[in-house]
Amino acid sequence: MSVDAAELAPVDPGQSGIGAARIGISGWRYVPWRSVFYPKGLPQRRELEYVSGRMNSVEINGSFYALQTPTSYQRWADEVPDDFLFSVKGGRYITHILRLKDTEKALANFFASGVLALGPKLGPVLWQVPPNLAYDRDTLDAFLATLPCTTSAAVEVGRNHDERMDGRAWLKTDADRPLRHTLEIRHPSFECEDFVQLARDRDVAIVVSDSAGRFPQMFEVTSDEMYVRLHGAEELYVSGYPEDLLQTWAARVHGWRTGESTDGRARDVYVYCDNDAKVRAPFDAMRLAEIVAELAA
């Protein structure tokens, strides 16, 4: 069960056509997936290649837990087709330890760590704030103001890295491209018009997070893209998505892609299934992509 990437590719994005649908999974290295989603005997080193033959995007989650290396980013980029995109999750040191304050050095280390080695396969950067972090306009606005909006700007941010990155920093980009950011909130205080307007002013997408009712779910459109994380329909990280819910999410994706459900403007849509505990994520992602392609046909 897979969908040709061309079926989900953009046609005249942002104008009168239809935006891209990037549908995939959050991470790909899960032991329980082996011999279930991954064929028995498939070498671990070929798992990303296998995923990229069935989906057109993946969210890199290892970057949330620790700085990755340029070698890793380059290897991942080499293992997928040219039209594949990676979203990259920003470091929890920035969001959960520093809590968005005094992040200059940490951001520099993150952008110097090799993220830009993905080249044209680099998609949005995801910033997930912790559940116990309440909305504070001044703190959030100051943080968003420091985020680079282009890959060239990210290089300049990275130049400010500390000594931990000496000898291993990646401070170049093959081309100057827009660099998009998206924010996943988890505290109910963010459910206010002031936050929505701030996100619009900073051109940052608010993640549409489906978390079995555990965290806020916001559908506001604040950017030229939409970003969705499906964490589980009934139980966080565990539940699969039955056909009726996949149909519902596919209709939403189609409405955002075409602009039919918003302002008439086509948008690129990124959707990642994060319900990995019971090996549901890859199958839900592939089925969702099939339905989305059918709606666009």
Least confident span in 2-11, 38-47, 162-171, 201-210: 2-11
> What are the structural domain ranges in the chain?
21-295
Question: In this predicted structure, what is the pLDDT of residue 8?
Answer: 58
pLDDT at 278 over 80: no
238 to each of 9, 217, 286, how far by Cα in Å?
30, 18, 17
Residue 183 has pLDDT above 70, yes or no: yes
| HEC secondary structure over 130-160 | CCCCCCCHHHHHHHHHHCCCEHHHHHHHHCC
Which pLDDT score is estimated for 164? 95
Q: What are phi and psi of 201, to 5 degrees?
A: -60, -35
How far CA 128 is from CA of 46, 96, 273, in Å, comes to 28, 9, 15
Percent of the chain with pLDDT over 90: 90
pLDDT at 276: 79
Banded model confidence at residue 4, pLDDT cuts 50, 70, 90 = low
User: What average pLDDT does the segment 107-114 reach?
Assistant: 99
DSSP annotation of 260? T
Q: What is the DSSP string of 35-98?
A: TTTBPTT--GGGHHHHHHTT-SEEEE-HHHHS---HHHHHHHHHTS-TT-EEEEEPPHIIIIIS
Average pLDDT estimate for 180-196: 98
* Average pLDDT, rounded, for the chain: 94
Q: How many Å apart are CA 161 and CA 240, to the nearest integer?
A: 41
* pLDDT for the residue numbered 81: 98
Confidence of residue 7 (pLDDT cuts 50, 70, 90): low
- At 108, list the tokens: 């520099």
Q: Which of 158, 205, 155, 150 is nearest to 182 (CA)?
A: 205
Pairing relationship of beta strands 85-89 and 225-232 according to DSSP bridges: unpaired
Nearby residues of 140 by Cβ (< 8 Å), 6 or more positions away: 100, 195, 198
Going 40 to 42 to 43 to 46, the CA torsion angle's sign is: negative
Name the maximum alpha-carbon separation found in the chain.
Answer: 52
CATH superfamily of 21-295: Protein of unknown function UPF0759 (3.20.20.410)
CA distance 29 to 169: 25
pLDDT at 1: 43
**Tens digit of pLDDT for each residue in 192-236?**
999 999 999 999 999 999 998 999 999 999 999 999 999 998 888
Contacts 24+ apart (CB under 8 A), 247-253: 247/291, 249/210, 249/288, 250/288, 250/291, 250/292, 250/295, 251/295, 252/208, 252/228, 253/21, 253/23, 253/226, 253/228, 253/288, 253/292
pTM of structure: 0.94
Residues in the chain: 297
Q: What is the pLDDT of residues 115-153, one digit of tens each?
A: 999 999 999 999 999 999 999 999 999 999 999 999 999
* pLDDT of 27 over the 60 cut: yes
Sheet containing strand 21-26, strands side by side: 205-206, 181-184, 122-128, 85-89, 57-60, 21-26, 268-273, 225-232, 208-211
Q: Report residue 63's pLDDT band, with 50, 70 and 90 as the boundaries.
A: very high
Q: Residues near 198 by Cβ (< 8 Å), separated by ≥ 6?
A: 137, 140, 141, 144
